[in-house]
Amino acid sequence: MKQKSKTQKAFQNALQKDISRRAFWVLVCLAVLAKLVLVHFQCIYTWIDGAPLDDELMFKAAQSITAGQWLGPYNWLTLSKHMFFPVWLSAAHALHIPYLLAGQLLLCAAALAAALAFAPVLSRYKSRFLLFALLVYNPAATASFTLRVYRDNIFPAECLLFFAGLIGYALRYARPLKQGLPWLGICGLGLALAWLTREDGVWLLPFFAAGCAAVLVAVLRQKGLAHKAWRCAALALPAAVLVLGINLFCAVNYAWYGVYTVSDFSSGSFAEAFGAMTRIEHENWRPLVSVPRDVREKLYQNVEELAPFRYWLEEYPPMRNGYLNKALGDYQTGSFYWVLRRTAQEEGVYQSAPAAQAFWQRVADKINALCDEGVLPAGRGRRNSTTPPIRAEYLPDVLAEGVRGLWHTMTFKDCEASLSEITIGQPQDVAVWEEYLGSRANLAAIAGTADPYYSPLQEIAFRILYWVQCLYALALPPALLAAVWVQLRRGWGLVRRGKQGSAAQKNNAKPQNAAPPQTAAPAQNIVQDTAAPRQSAQQTALAWLLWLVLAGLLGMALLRCLMIAFVEVASFNIGTYVMYLSTVHPLLILFAAAGLLTVWPKNQSQTREERP
């Protein structure tokens, strides 16, 4: 028993004792190295000539960049998406970094930034390393969708960089400004990269706006805080980086194609024309169909530019067979805007970007004018968007799909690290992809089957990642519930502390009986007496900022689930898909881990001076 208690005591001491800064960085390097070794056994997946709107579009654009031709010859697909991902691919190719390893290195950098962002409220290096490791080994970061040559391989890491940067500045608002500026730079970099990678990068703006507002309030309420104006003005830095990134991309597109835009799909005249089409009322409204057959017939009859489209959309078999939803008997929203652009290509609209922009502007202007005049029945005002209009009828299905998406992410469903199918394509074509990307494709199949063959070492690596996935799936749901409970209690405690502070101030403000004269207090005591309330106020403000940061992370996770749910219900109809939800996993991990670690008393001690 005596020996057992000594062992227990030694174990408890080991848990309570923190590690050194050097040990922290050694563990970080080892964790990154182990992750890269595991990912080394994964293979890319592609389908030659099978994903012209996604993987193939990105890959060909990257090849064009490498060849010095920017995104390649202009057609209906060239500027159809935000195209930073081809830039990323070409940069990895130029640096001779394998595609899959490059994505993991970006993830590791974002995870490290997120862990260090919480350093002001995590005084122990052990806690910082745990937060880093939990984000690095997130099973969604090695899920099979990341093996595609597509932008969602890096999009979650870019978003995590943004969150880390803003959190890092918020938790350092009272420190010297030079400590906070690098975090704002990280925030702006993540925001700009995410915006230029996917069309829905706008979803990050609510967190940015709320975070800036919270920091502004904290700064302005603090007495004695030096250079308040500069601390507030610095919050414009991420927005400046975003504007710079957007304009740089637009300038390059203008130099090559003659249009000053990031994408001629999600913004500009095409989005305006599509939005105008969705204004027109339907004879029989159905979900998933934003521009049904009866609306299209009205457009053919009243808009001369669209009259030739009738043959392609209603009669031409390849178009109908390739894009029409047979179950609906019509084009659903998620495919209609693509078939619309392809039809315009067949009609010669996309000979040049300025010509296409002018064409869709004429279409938009005529449809809006007809709607405003009452010639076409319009149920809503002008729109400039490729998303379907929000309707009350969608609400039950969106909420149900949002709950499914949240449960999907909490339990890490569909996050297996191995592929269940082999790459499709001729070996000589696949070799071109492998050579450019520096990563292998899974072409080998088990004899007599279409199932992929993996070597014993690959099987071991995938088994390790599978058990990691199971561990996360078991641990995250209860950790989230515990973190929510802890944050509710913390929030209530802060409210009570605020009420008690207000009551104390009122009591102090009441006139007191004249006290007998006393000798003057030493100057040192006066400084201590005035500094103590100031320090307490800063601690309270920091506690509120931490609470708001964690609430914001959870809120953004829920917002993303509902956004994707709406797109699924109103446009895609493909079922809950982990790739579109992959930005939610790190937010849930960050909320649960930071929410629990920051209430540990050992992390609430005086924080060490931060050094690289």
Do residues 567 and 394 make contact, with C-beta atoms less than 8 angstroms apart?
no
Per-residue pLDDT at 518 exceeds 60: no
Query: pLDDT band at 504, cuts 50/70/90?
Result: low
| 531-538 average pLDDT score | 61
| pLDDT score for 448 | 79
pLDDT digits (tens, 9 = 90+) for 164-196: 999 999 999 989 999 999 999 999 999 999 999
CA dihedral angle for residue 73, residue 74, residue 78, residue 82, rounded to 10 degrees: 100
Question: Phi first, then psi: what are they for 68, rounded to 5°?
Answer: 80, 25
Query: pLDDT band at 506, cuts 50/70/90?
Result: low
Q: For all residues of the chain together, what is the average pLDDT?
A: 90
| 413-429 average pLDDT score | 91
Do residues 197 and 160 make contact, with C-beta atoms less than 8 angstroms apart?
no
| pLDDT score for 445 | 86
Query: pLDDT band at 531, cuts 50/70/90?
Result: very low
Rounded-to-5 percentages of helix, strand, coil across the chain = 70, 0, 30
Residue type, 236: A
Do residues 164 and 114 make contact, with C-beta atoms less than 8 angstroms apart?
yes
The DSSP call for residue 275 is H
What are 452's strand-pairing partners? 445
List, in order, residues 6 or more apart from 435 with CB less than 8 Å away: none
| pLDDT score for 50 | 86
| pLDDT score for 221 | 86
CA distance linking residue 315 with residue 309, whole number of Å: 10
List, in order, residues 6 or more apart from 389 with CB less than 8 Å away: 278, 290, 380, 383
Query: pLDDT band at 449, cuts 50/70/90?
Result: confident
CA distance linking residue 353 with residue 509, whole number of Å: 69
Per-residue pLDDT at 605 exceeds 80: no
CB-CB neighbours of 139 under 10 Å: 23
Range from 138-147, 212-221, 466-475 carrying the lowest mean pLDDT = 212-221
Single out the residue of 113, 147, 104 nearest to residue 132, CA to CA. Answer: 113
| 289-293 average pLDDT score | 93
CB-CB neighbours of 27 under 10 Å: 18
Read off the pTM.
0.91
Range from 236-245, 492-501, 538-547 carrying the lowest mean pLDDT = 492-501
Per-residue pLDDT at 114 exceeds 80: yes
CA distance linking residue 540 with residue 546, whole number of Å: 10
pLDDT digits (tens, 9 = 90+) for 439-448: 999 888 888 7
What are 280's strand-pairing partners? 378
Question: Quick one: tokens of 228?
Answer: 């308040």
pLDDT digits (tens, 9 = 90+) for 74-96: 999 999 999 999 999 999 999 99
- Written in H, E and C, the secondary structure of 287-318 is CCCCCCHHHHHHHHHHCHHHCCHHHHHHHCHH
Helices and strands in the chain: count of H runs, count of E runs: 23, 0
pLDDT digits (tens, 9 = 90+) for 431-441: 999 999 999 99
| pLDDT score for 350 | 96
Q: Is the dihedral of CA 325, 326, 327, 330 positive or negative?
A: positive
* Terminal alpha carbon distance of the chain: 45
| pLDDT score for 49 | 87
| 416-428 average pLDDT score | 90
| pLDDT score for 3 | 55
Per-residue pLDDT at 530 exceeds 70: no
CA distance linking residue 332 with residue 413, whole number of Å: 27
The DSSP call for residue 510 is S
| 601-609 average pLDDT score | 57
Identify which has the larger pLDDT, 499 or 371. Answer: 371
| pLDDT score for 511 | 54
Alpha-carbon separation of residue 332 from 141, 323, 328, 346, 446 (angstroms): 31, 8, 8, 21, 38
| 583-605 average pLDDT score | 89
Do residues 540 and 533 make contact, with C-beta atoms less than 8 angstroms apart?
no
